[in-house]
Amino acid sequence: MQQLKNDLLLRALRKEKVERPPVWMMRQAGRYLPDYIKLRDKYDFFTRVQTPELATEITIQPVQQIGVDAAIIFSDILVIPQAMGVEVLMEEGKGPSLPHVIKTQKDIDALRTANIEENLSYVTKALTLTKQELNGRVPLIGFAGAPWTILCYMVEGKGSKTWDKAKQFCYTQPDLAHQLLQKITDVSVTYLKAQANAGADALQVFDSWSGCLSPGDFKLFAQPYLIQIADALKNIAPVILFPKGSWYALNELSESSASGLGLDWCISPKIARELTGNKITLQGNFDPAKLLMPVPKIKKAVKEMIDEFGAQNYIANLGHGITPNVPVENAKAFVDAVKEYKV
């Protein structure tokens, strides 16, 4: 087992005392970095994801250039539908589209659940290679999309503000919805275990679209599957659940097997701490748009954020992914502000 030179992230997830909070940024490996843009102009999206050498290079860029305390493997949440036999198209600047959506029992029965590790071996190869290249500098995070969020894409066929078709599917055919959610969950557990075995030190589950569900529907269509994943992995690697927008679930999720909960910027640190009773490490929740402020203002706002959360049982991060229009020096200012924080 490789000795980590910087294990702040893992210590924070174990609720151990830290000299300052660890910091990383969602989508840190990618679109705001000039070196990434050069690769994007040369190779299409899935070539970047499916070529371990490219994925490794992209994963390590923010560690070298921004100084984050963790790397997160460059991949995509939609590799799961792909591995299950669903076509996924990705057009630069347009987002994903899935030409053949899930509508019927037959569609669900046709989904592949075998050979998942084999079908996604390019991700595990990238993790192993990245782990070697990092050489213990920082921990490596693996990830998957949450079952509800993956269902949204598989039923809707593309991004949406309201996810009406996905919700209609769940409300009118709940049995099919639960069958689909369970299949996605089983595949995700296999996939995440393979990531941990390949070198991921921690795992994050992105429920990007759970915030479109009411508290009651979240409890029905999202929460049970998030908890299943956290339970299945609890003795393998620490898990961070990120149900974006679902602040109402923080209390119950803080009782789960997860080690951390990600937060968006629509909840105050004080309320998040109250809802979770400081039982679990919290991660977040700087509004990515605030990275467009002048550097001194970014640094001031970051210090205020950490003051509110408290430096312990906390991982500094954004409330969602970094946007392409953020200058590199502003991203670095965010990271530096956390590193300069005095406990």
Numbered residues of the known binding site for substrate: 27-31, 46, 76, 153, 208, 320
Q: Which residues contact 45 (CB under 8 A, 6 or more apart)?
A: 76, 90, 92
Catalytic entry in 40, 107, 122, 217 = 40
Catalytic entry in 7, 69, 76, 207 = 76
Tell me how far the alpha carbon of residue 39 is from its chain's centroid: 22
DSSP H helical segments within the chain, as ranges?
8-13, 34-42, 45-50, 52-65, 79-83, 105-109, 116-119, 121-134, 147-156, 164-172, 174-198, 215-221, 223-233, 250-253, 269-276, 295-309, 328-339
DSSP state of 281: E
40 is annotated as an active-site residue: yes
Contact (Cβ atoms closer than 8 angstroms) between residue 141 and residue 12:
no
Tell me the two tokens of residue 161.
């503000």
Catalytic entry in 153, 225, 314, 341 = 153
How many angstroms separate the most distant Cα atoms in the chain?
Answer: 58
31 is annotated as an active-site residue: yes
Provide the pairing of β-strand 239-243 with 140-145. unpaired
Judged on CB neighbours under 10 Å (0-12, 13-18, 19+), 214 is exposed
CA distances (Å), 249 to each of 77, 120, 215, 226, 312, in order? 22, 31, 7, 11, 22
Q: Which residues contact 101 (CB under 8 A, 6 or more apart)?
A: 107, 154, 155, 156, 157, 165
Tell me how far the alpha carbon of residue 98 is from its chain's centroid: 21
DSSP state of 263: -
Catalytic entry in 31, 35, 43, 122 = 31
Tell me the two tokens of residue 194.
């393979």
- Binding residue positions: 27-31, 46, 76, 153, 208, 320
14 is annotated as an active-site residue: no
Query: Which residues are known catalytic residues?
Result: 27, 31, 40, 76, 153
